[in-house]
Amino acid sequence: MDNSPIDRQETFSGTREVSDAFKFDEARLEAYLKSEIPGFSGPIRLSQFKGGQSNPTYKIEAGSGAYVLRRKPPGKLLPSAHAVDREYRVISALNQTNFPVPKAHILCEDDDVIGTAFYVMDFVAGRVIWDAHVPGVDKAERREIFHELNKTMAKLHTTDIDAVGLSDFGRPANYVARQVGRWSKQYKASETSEVAEMEHLIAWLPENLPEEGPAALIHGDFRLDNAILAPDRPEILAVLDWELSTLGDPIADFTYHLMQWIMPESETGVGPGSLVDLDLEALGIPGIDEYVAEYCEATGRSGIPDIDTYFAYNLFRLAAILQGIVGRVRDGTAASSVAEQMGARVQPLAALAWQYAIRAGAK
């Protein structure tokens, strides 16, 4: 395994030729899209986005415009993972609102077309920034980008789920408890070596969960590189990667977004980016307390109690997600060229999670 540092922007930006493991019959796809999407015309050209870690993602350049296809990966899959049908449903629902998502066109659950279920949405042209500190922009724009992220997350968490037809999109009660149970099971199913801190967390978290307030529509993986920014201004044009979206605790979702303020960058640069050890004031990036206060004001909250427990939970969850990617390397279904490197992040994340658990009272 190559542990040399990567350039995140170079490694994850743009597209490449479709890898052999994820090729399929393009002519069959073209015929299907012509028959199902009004106004769709060929010929088509396919490429694969470099950044897709979980669901392989393709750019379709067609006579009628540019589209994006997200599919389940082929091969052995973990239970409930790679839920492209849920992604399609939530994007379609949000198309009814002014929340920034691409226009969804079609969901295909017929494996005969390309081998697995997939959906197609519009391609949104803009900037995807893979480094958390947003290089290449001035201080004022960087600050506005963080303000836009915060505002967008608050808008998501205050979406009227009944009005958009998502009142049955998940079981809103006991979200964190169910997530701990889900990721504990998926971690064990993907386990390649024993990590003591993960075992401690699997035992401690179910007995020390934060008290949850009203449920909301949550994203599950909201961060800068899952957003497309306008080419020329600090505006989010589209939020991507809705695989983990559901109804649940918005504070769990928001504190996951806060991981970049507390989680050190990996030595190799894989995994979510980090703001740790940066001069945030000089960069124009709000500190974590200011960022929390802005979110609370936008959502009508007085503060976030139990934040250390939420941090322990979210670091545990992220470690389990990355272990799942390692498991897919083992099973031959990983879509990312750096998936194996992500495995090196599991133990450090678990150790940091356990530190926050101790701060919250664990012994």
- Report the alpha-carbon angle 123-15-321, nearest 5: 90
3-state secondary structure of 188: helix
Q: What is the pLDDT of residues 277-325, one digit of tens each?
A: 999 999 999 999 999 999 999 999 999 989 999 999 999 999 998 888 8
268 shares a domain with 160: yes
- Residue 78: which CATH number? 3.30.200.20
96 shares a domain with 176: no
Q: Does 129 map to a domain?
A: no
pLDDT at 343: 72
Least confident interval from 1-5, 196-200, 275-279, 335-339: 1-5
Rounded to whole angstroms, the Cα distance separating 233 from 26 reads 36
Decide: 219 and 253 in contact? Cβ < 8 Å: yes
DSSP state letter for 103: P
Rounded to whole angstroms, the Cα distance separating 219 from 202 reads 23
180 shares a domain with 46: no
92 shares a domain with 230: no
pLDDT at 260: 93
294 shares a domain with 192: yes
What residues make up the domain containing 301?
139-359
31 shares a domain with 160: no
Decide: 90 and 242 in contact? Cβ < 8 Å: yes
Rounded to whole angstroms, the Cα distance separating 215 from 326 reads 31
Per-residue confidence band for 269, with pLDDT thresholds at 50, 70 and 90: low
Bond prior to 102 in cis (omega within 30° of 0):
no
| Tokens 């983990």, located at residue | 244
Count: domains in the chain: 2
On the CB side of 278, CA atoms within 13 Å amount to 24
- Residue 330: which CATH number? 3.90.1200.10
Phi, psi dihedral angles at 271 (to 5 degrees) = 80, 175
Q: Does 130 map to a domain?
A: no
Rounded to whole angstroms, the Cα distance separating 207 from 165 reads 34
243 shares a domain with 112: no
Q: What is the pLDDT of residues 17-59, one digit of tens each?
A: 998 989 999 999 999 999 999 999 999 999 999 876 578 999 9
219 shares a domain with 355: yes
Among 80, 97, 122, the domain boundary falls at 122
203 shares a domain with 160: yes
143 shares a domain with 116: no
Least confident interval from 5-19, 72-86, 326-340: 326-340
Q: Does 176 map to a domain?
A: yes
Rounded to whole angstroms, the Cα distance separating 314 from 333 reads 25
Q: Does 84 map to a domain?
A: yes
Q: Is the pTM of this model over 0.85?
A: yes
Among 122, 152, 186, the domain boundary falls at 122
Rounded to whole angstroms, the Cα distance separating 102 from 95 reads 8
Amino acid at 34: K
Rounded to whole angstroms, the Cα distance separating 263 from 247 reads 26
Q: Where are the beta strands (DSSP E) in 26-129?
A: 45-49, 57-62, 65-71, 104-108, 118-122
170 shares a domain with 297: yes
Per-residue confidence band for 273, with pLDDT thresholds at 50, 70 and 90: confident
292 shares a domain with 171: yes
